[in-house]
């Protein structure tokens, strides 16, 4: 049950971020749920491996390269999921930052 609530909170965060950012297109809330699940799977399985390889760059940039990695994952998800489009790399970075902020706020409110 807790897993479903977490997915719905992340889907709501995706929907709000897509509404706020002009170059992000999201067709429906169901698409937001699919995007939230896809980002969750990527963050669980692929991101730890990428972070190990990107550790030297992350150390040099004091962790700011993680934002670039998150933006790349958002662009990857937008390529594979119909109904979710991100305008470009800068838009993906802004979407990543707004998504994490909104998700954090909703996570705190959900507790």
What is residue 3's predicted lDDT score, i.e. its pLDDT? 87
Confidence at residue 14, expressed as pLDDT on a 0 to 100 scale:
96
φ and ψ at 69, to 5 degrees? Answer: -65, -45
Nearest-angstrom CA–CA distance, 101 and 98: 5
Q: What is the predicted pLDDT for the residue at 51?
A: 96
Q: At what angle do helices 89-110 and 65-80 cross, to 10 degrees?
A: 100
Low-confidence ranges of the chain (pLDDT < 50): none
* Residue 99 pLDDT: 94
Predicted pLDDT at 1: 80
For residue 36, what pLDDT is reported? Answer: 96
């Amino acid at each position: 049950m807790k897993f479903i609530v977490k997915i719905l909170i992340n889907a709501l965060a995706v929907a709000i971020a897509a509404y706020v950012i002009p170059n992000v297109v999201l067709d429906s809330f169901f698409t937001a749920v699919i995007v939230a699940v896809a980002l969750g799977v990527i963050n669980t399985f692929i991101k730890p491996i990428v972070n190990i390889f990107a550790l030297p760059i992350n150390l040099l940039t004091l962790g700011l390269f993680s934002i670039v990695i998150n933006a790349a994952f958002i662009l990857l998800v937008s390529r594979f999921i119909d109904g979710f489009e991100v305008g470009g790399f800068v838009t993906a970075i802004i979407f990543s930052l707004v998504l994490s902020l909104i998700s954090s706020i909703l996570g705190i409110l959900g507790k």
